[in-house]
């Protein structure tokens, strides 16, 4: 077993329980809630389909949170799922996770930054090149702040998350109370036919929207009193997110006719315009920008810790495992991730980035949860201040639900899903090549 040693000692425990909750909520509620309700509505065909997707996606996410929290408490160190997979199954599978994290984490950063830039483009004439330039600049700006101080990053996370929660509840209340054609819009949403073949692909989109809770796990090595604070942050954050998402979707369905909702490119802006007039566009653009800024900040704060942990294990370049002597941050890992994300943001669009992330990472979250069963047997005496709620049923349902979604995506969208699986498996020969040639890097 790998003890909680170097990474936890070299990265000081500076983060509070509120910051942990702010990471879960802030990273999860980023760009997706303003983007994916439209393709989910288009893919499912009616109100029932939309409701099923958001509720099932939320439950899968909640079951994952309830399960992964036990692993985070057992191994409160940098790396998150990388550490859990290593302990349960060994280094090759952990490396595969790190390989996919290397490829898909910059997708996530780029998608969030592009969503920020798209909404800024509703206020300023950016054009396509300007939109991508703004997204790249935002990634560099936040990465520089995280390079400088984890406390500064935590302060930004706390403030942005609190602001977005207040604003989202206020926005949803305004749409629900003031929508002029609420009954007609709900009736139009109920009238369509459910598209069963679109549910699986729509669930992938919902898992992108619900993704973010796992971003707390790489920061576990910097949380104060992790045995007490990690479960609180995970569970409280996940429940808040699910409630906000259901509230926001109800508001969008009331504000817009279902056909307009399904075709919208900026659903939040269109909903506000329909209810409050064009003057509301500025408000919603500002809200989306604050929201995506906070989500990107949380991602950049947490994600490079996986590469840091891999470097400490000798499975990545040694320099990536360096801690800045003054700032006490994994500065090389942050700079490395920043460069990759900027490259991605210049060449891909939002939905391509989102789908690639979900199909690359969620299978490993499910495998981490399988590792929970393995570790209950391998290490029964290891202290567990939190035990997964509903074990073994809840963890099993998370694993089953995740793989059913991925399997459905493979059936209905075999090209992109197959490519994701193939890219994952490429990591195996890369692992063996690294063992042979990369140890001195």
Residue 1 has pLDDT above 50, yes or no: no
Q: What residues does 223 pair with on adjacent strands?
A: 15
* Residue-range domain boundaries for the chain: 6-437
Q: Say how far apart CA 192 and CA 184 lie, in whole Å.
A: 13
The verdict on domain 6-437 having CATH code 1.20.1740.10 is: yes
- The string of pLDDT tens digits covering residues 246-297 is 999 999 999 999 999 999 877 888 898 899 887 777 887 888 888 889 989 9
CA distances from 116 to 63, 101, 173 (A): 30, 22, 23
Q: Which of 206, 225, 197, 201 is nearest to 62 (CA)?
A: 206
CA distances from 409 to 45, 198, 297, 425 (A): 17, 9, 30, 18
Residue 420 has pLDDT above 80, yes or no: no
Q: Which helix (H) or strand (E) holds 236?
A: helix 226-255
- Measured from the Cβ of residue 300, the count of other Cβ atoms closer than 10 Å reads 29
CA distances from 88 to 206, 369, 375 (A): 28, 10, 6
Q: Say how far apart CA 268 and CA 403 lie, in whole Å.
A: 31
Mention every residue, 6+ apart, whose C-beta is less than 8 A from residue 182.
176, 254, 255
Would you place residue 5 in the very low, low, confident or very high pLDDT band (cuts 50, 70, 90)? very low
Q: What are phi and psi of 429, to 5 degrees?
A: -65, -30
Of 2-6, 65-69, 168-172, 349-353, which gets the smallest average pLDDT?
2-6
Dihedral (Cα; 384, 390, 396, 400), 10-degree rounding: -130
Q: Say how far apart CA 261 and CA 270 lie, in whole Å.
A: 8
240 neighbors 27 (Cβ within 8 angstroms): no
81 neighbors 368 (Cβ within 8 angstroms): yes
265 neighbors 293 (Cβ within 8 angstroms): no
Q: What's the first-to-final CA gap in the chain, in angstroms? A: 25
- The string of pLDDT tens digits covering residues 39-89 is 999 989 899 999 999 999 999 999 999 999 999 999 998 889 999 999 999
Residue 434 has pLDDT above 80, yes or no: yes
- CB < 8 Å & 24+ apart, contacts of 18-21: 18/158, 19/154, 19/157, 19/158, 20/216, 20/219, 20/223, 20/229, 20/230, 20/232, 20/233, 20/234, 20/237, 21/161, 21/232, 21/233, 21/236, 21/237, 21/240
């Amino acid at each position: 077993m790998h003890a909680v040693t170097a990474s936890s000692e070299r990265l000081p425990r500076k983060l509070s329980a509120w910051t942990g909750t702010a990471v879960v909520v802030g990273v999860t509620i980023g760009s997706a809630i303003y983007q994916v309700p439209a393709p989910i509505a288009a893919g499912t065909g009616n109100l029932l389909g939309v409701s099923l997707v958001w509720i099932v996606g939320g439950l899968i996410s909640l079951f994952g949170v309830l399960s992964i929290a036990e692993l985070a408490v057992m191994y409160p160190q940098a790396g998150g799922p990388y550490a859990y997979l290593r302990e349960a199954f060994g280094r090759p599978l952990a490396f595969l996770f790190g390989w996919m994290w290397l490829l898909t984490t910059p997708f996530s950063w780029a998608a969030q930054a592009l969503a920020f830039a798209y909404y800024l483009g509703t206020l300023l004439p950016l054009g396509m090149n300007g939109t991508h330039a703004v997204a790249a600049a935002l990634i560099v700006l936040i990465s520089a702040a995280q390079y400088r101080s984890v406390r500064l990053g935590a302060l930004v996370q706390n403030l942005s998350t609190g602001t977005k929660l207040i604003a989202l509840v206020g926005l949803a209340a305004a749409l629900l109370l003031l929508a002029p054609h609420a009954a007609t819009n709900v009736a139009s949403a109920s009238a369509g036919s459910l598209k069963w073949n679109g549910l699986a692909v729509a669930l992938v989109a919902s898992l992108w929207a619900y993704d973010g809770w796992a971003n707390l796990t790489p920061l576990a090595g910097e949380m104060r009193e992790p045995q007490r604070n990690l479960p609180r942050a995970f569970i409280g954050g996940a429940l808040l997110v699910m409630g906000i998402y259901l509230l926001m979707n109800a508001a969008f369905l009331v504000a817009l006719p279902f056909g307009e909702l399904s075709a919208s490119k900026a659903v939040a802006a269109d909903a506000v315009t329909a209810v409050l007039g064009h003057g509301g566009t500025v408000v919603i653009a500002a809200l989306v920008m604050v929201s995506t800024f906070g989500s990107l900040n949380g991602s950049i704060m947490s994600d490079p810790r996986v590469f840091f942990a891999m470097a400490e294990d000798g499975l990545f370049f040694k320099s990536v495992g360096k801690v800045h002597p003054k700032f006490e941050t994994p500065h090389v890992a942050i700079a490395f991730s920043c460069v990759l994300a900027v490259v991605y943001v210049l060449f891909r669009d939002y939905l391509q980035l989102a789908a690639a992330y979900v199909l690359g990472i969620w299978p490993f979250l499910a495998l981490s949860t399988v590792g929970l069963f393995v570790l209950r047997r391998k290490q029964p005496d290891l202290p567990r201040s939190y035990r997964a709620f509903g074990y073994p049923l809840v963890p099993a349902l998370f694993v089953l639900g995740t793989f059913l979604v991925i399997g459905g995506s493979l059936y209905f969208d075999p090209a992109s899903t197959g490519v994701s699986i193939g890219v994952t498996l490429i990591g195996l020969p890369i692992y063996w090549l690294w063992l042979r040639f990369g140890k001195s890097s």
